A and B are shown apart, each in its own frame.
Chain A
Amino acid sequence: MTRRVAVTGIGVVAPGGAGTAAFWDLLSQGRTATRGITLFDPVGLRSRIAAECDFDPYAHGLPPELSEHNDRYVQFAAVAAGEAVRDSGLDTAAENPWRVGVSLGSAVGGTTRLEHDYVLVSEGGRRWDVDHRAADPKLHLAFAPSTLAAVVAERFGARGPVQTVSTGCTSGLDAVGYAFHTIEEGRADVVIAGASDSPISPITMACFDAIKATSPDNDDPEHASKPFDDRRNGFVMGEGAAVLVLEEYEHARARDAHIYCEISGYATYGNAYHMTGLTGEGLEMARAIDTALDQARLDPTAIDYVNAHGSGTRQNDRHETAAVKRSLGHHAYDTPMSSIKSMVGHSLGAIGAIEVAACVLALKHQVVPPTANYEIPDPECDLDYVPRTARPRKLRNVLSVGSGFGGFQSAVLLTGPGGRTP
């Protein structure tokens, strides 16, 4: 018998305010959290804007070890996981620890911390033979990408399968997908799953500058992220984390947990085409959507909302529009599809999990979040992108899709109460 996977807790640290409530306020009101970069002096960069989190680790009561020696992205994840576990009502101490896992995604891991210490040991980029004496003695925590999952596992006593997933910008969707498979296959009953990234640093901003992937609209940061709009000119960097508590369905029912929805399908494919380029056809993303629907035994017409990758680059939004049309056929025109990156930016590996959290909240509130800043249609992007204003709608099955560097194309399907056809 197939084990079903329930979502029983949500935690979010996103631009515009920490916590799930602040996150949903932002999305449902269609506000944007993009602004001029304050985390460092961005002088000289082509793109000097980002969606930043106003985040103080001390205010969240993180222990000194986490506040001082760990990178911001680990702190985000610890706080989001704390909210998710509290929300789920799960008594982690009472669980069999071998049956509790962690699956967290991050695209760039501890690079912000690594860059910070690099500057110290290299005397500001002057030495190849860096001087180790200037480095933080715990720099290995930034170097090892598995620190992310390890810190969260430690805090919540998880001793089952603990993994950090790093598939670029699909990391968040894939981390949730791996967790879904872990429970479905019987390797754990509970998995703390999500993703985190804090990439707003000189090196990461500069490397996206170099390929002109980010928006140069420095004079109007609030309106810079314009997915699907004909004026779009790149993504706006973001940061943040979202964590869900995923739980085997009967396990959740046995403890009378509140079940938000189920994860009902997940698939990922590579386009084997280009590390950063996308085809106009969207064949591989369409295949991921089809496979996720197959797993859920759902017809494409059962999809009520598509949470888009919608990064706001020229090629992404066309690629994705083509992929959704390929999978959903005519139903694509009747299905709202929006990009929350218009509001919270693109936090690389974290955003997939933040978008899954947005889908869970959309199901909860029966409201489709909008695409902020959408004004002028692109003739090649001709679907219903839910311009500027959130829209109440009956939602049962919602889909979140993502594309990442490396050519990865992922889809996660969520099903609310009553959504599965028997």
Chain B
Amino acid sequence: MSTQRPRRAVVTGIGVIAPNGLRTDAYWKSVREGLGVLGRITREGCEHLPLKVAGQVEGFDASALIDERFLVQTDRFTHYAMAAAALALDDAGLAHEGGVEDPFSVGVVTAAGSGGGEFGQRELQKLWGQGSKFVGPYQSIAWFYAASTGQISIRHGFKGPCGVVASDEAGGLDALAHAARAVRRGTGAMVAGAAEAPLAPYSMVCQLGYPELSTVDDPDRAYRPFTAKACGFVPAEGGAMLLVEDEARALDRGATVRATVAGHGATFTGASRWKESREGLAQAVRVALDEAGCAPEEIDVVFPDALGVPEADRAEALALADVLGAHATRVPVTAPKTGYGRAYCGASVLDTAAAVLAMEHGLVPPTPHVYDIDCDLDVVMSRARPAELRTALVLSRGLMGSNAALVVRRGGGLAR
């Protein structure tokens, strides 16, 4: 299993189900154009809640993408994850529905921060409204955080290492790093990422206690990080799955190596202690750069956490200055998620997908809804900016106190 050259984990497929695009190309088009799709939450039973604006996935037809036998036993969050996984596998040219030669060579890892809330609420309603005998047989496998990993493994016949990090937002990057490490340890490929569906009535009630939540009603003003008008974050649903693969294997089968998962760092500085997240984020970046063998000046673009809470935004800008030095004020910074919201664990995977696409297209996408920056960062606004991009830094912080950084390089490292 070990070769002379260390195994490298590369991205060979991207699948996106997001509020601003139901396929990867549609997502990128919206991101590149800085489209804002935040809007009124229209899901049944949510109208009266004090949280009005979110990034909703619209026009998603689960039954067109997923077999009925899977649909009945899964929540919306798993539908998104299964659809994104299928798109990623298709993109990677890896035949799905049980099409790999050695089933143990492909594993699955997802991050999950909200579980199958809509399905769970329906079953809770049956239990408490009608009685325990009305609870259906799929509640035990639809509500729990591991549902998406399990169903993706079963649908595609993947028997490799299966994992789930039940996490706050930073977990999306942790899942990608988990996949990269599994690949470096010997697994051929990992389907990795996160998708969330937190926009059901009871799930929304559960989120109302987050002090960082934006409750501004105007979709254009609700999520504006790094500005004097920052008033919190707007939640979203959806997410992305990537195929993270051993580079040599990818080249052997003639796949296109899109990017390399080069380094990851994870730290913890406490829930809602945003001032201290400066130190935690800086440390995570140092660890990630070190693992990637990457100098601070090599970073060509930063996808920040961009929480939209003034103290947190300041801490993030300072963390970048702490690690990147003067380069922090010069490197382009972009937060496309201001256009579609933060899909909890899915958010940082979507950012990573955007980073890979930005490097491929030589284009830093803009940060929708953000105009007057009040920090010392070069935030790309209004329109996409052409640039030669070889290395991207993706940052994420979770509401429960995690900080994570991921360094992603364009293309691979092996000669073709």
Stretch at the interface among B80-88, B201-209, B305-313, B387-395: B201-209
- Please state if A122 and B151 are interface contacts (CB–CB under 8 Å): no
| Residues of chain A contacted by B228 (CB below 8 angstroms) | none
- Cβ of B194 within 8 Å of any chain A Cβ, yes or no, is no
How far does the Cβ of B182 sit from chain A's closest Cβ, in whole Å? 9
- Cβ of B296 within 8 Å of any chain A Cβ, yes or no, is no
Chain A, range 332-379, C-beta contacts under 8 Å to B: none
- Please state if A210 and B136 are interface contacts (CB–CB under 8 Å): yes
Task: Bits for A81-110, please: 1 = Cβ < 8 Å to B, else 0.
Answer: 000000000000000001000100011110
- Please state if B162 and A269 are interface contacts (CB–CB under 8 Å): yes
| Residues of chain B contacted by A275 (CB below 8 angstroms) | 73, 141, 147, 150-151, 154
- Please state if A271 and B167 are interface contacts (CB–CB under 8 Å): no
Number of residue pairs spanning A and B whose beta carbons lie under 8 angstroms apart: 266
Taking A114-B206, A129-B48, A145-B113 as contacts, is the C-beta distance between A207 and B399 under 8 angstroms? Answer: no
- Please state if A121 and B113 are interface contacts (CB–CB under 8 Å): no
Taking A166-B146, A404-B146, A407-B153 as contacts, is the C-beta distance between A125 and B166 under 8 angstroms? Answer: no
- Please state if B267 and A109 are interface contacts (CB–CB under 8 Å): no
Task: Bits for B387-413, please: 1 = Cβ < 8 Å to A, else 0.
Answer: 000000000001111100000000000
Chain B, range 317-340, C-beta contacts under 8 Å to A: none
How far does the Cβ of B166 sit from chain A's closest Cβ, in whole Å? 4
Chain A, range 229-244, C-beta contacts under 8 Å to B: none
Interface residues on chain B, number (Cβ under 8 Å): 86
Chain A's interface size range is 35 or more
Nearest B residue to A129 by beta-carbon distance? B45
| Residues of chain B contacted by A154 (CB below 8 angstroms) | 270-271, 401
Nearest A residue to B153 by beta-carbon distance? A270
Taking A144-B113, A167-B163, A168-B144 as contacts, is the C-beta distance between A272 and B158 under 8 angstroms? Answer: yes
Taking A44-B131, A143-B203, A163-B174 as contacts, is the C-beta distance between A408 and B140 under 8 angstroms? Answer: no
| Residues of chain A contacted by B114 (CB below 8 angstroms) | 143
How far does the Cβ of B230 sit from chain A's closest Cβ, in whole Å? 20
How far, in angstroms, from A124 to B126 measured CA to CA in the complex? 10
How far, in angstroms, from A107 to B166 measured CA to CA in the complex? 9
Taking A115-B124, A129-B47, A150-B400 as contacts, is the C-beta distance between A407 and B162 under 8 angstroms? Answer: yes
How far, in angstroms, from A278 to B332 measured CA to CA in the complex? 51
A→B interface (CB under 8 Å): 44-45, 98, 102, 106-109, 111, 114-115, 118-119, 121-122, 124-126, 128-130, 132, 135-147, 150, 153-154, 158-168, 174, 178, 181, 185, 187, 202-203, 205-211, 213, 267-276, 284, 287, 404-408
B→A interface (CB under 8 Å): 44-50, 73, 103-104, 107-108, 112-115, 120-121, 123-133, 135-137, 139-141, 143-147, 149-151, 153-154, 156-168, 171, 174, 178, 181, 201-210, 266-271, 280, 283, 287, 398-402
- In the complex, given contacts A139-B206, A167-B162, A276-B141, what are 13 additional A-B residue pairs having Cβ atoms less than 8 angstroms apart? A125-B126, A125-B130, A139-B205, A139-B208, A153-B268, A161-B174, A163-B174, A167-B146, A207-B143, A210-B140, A270-B154, A272-B154, A406-B147
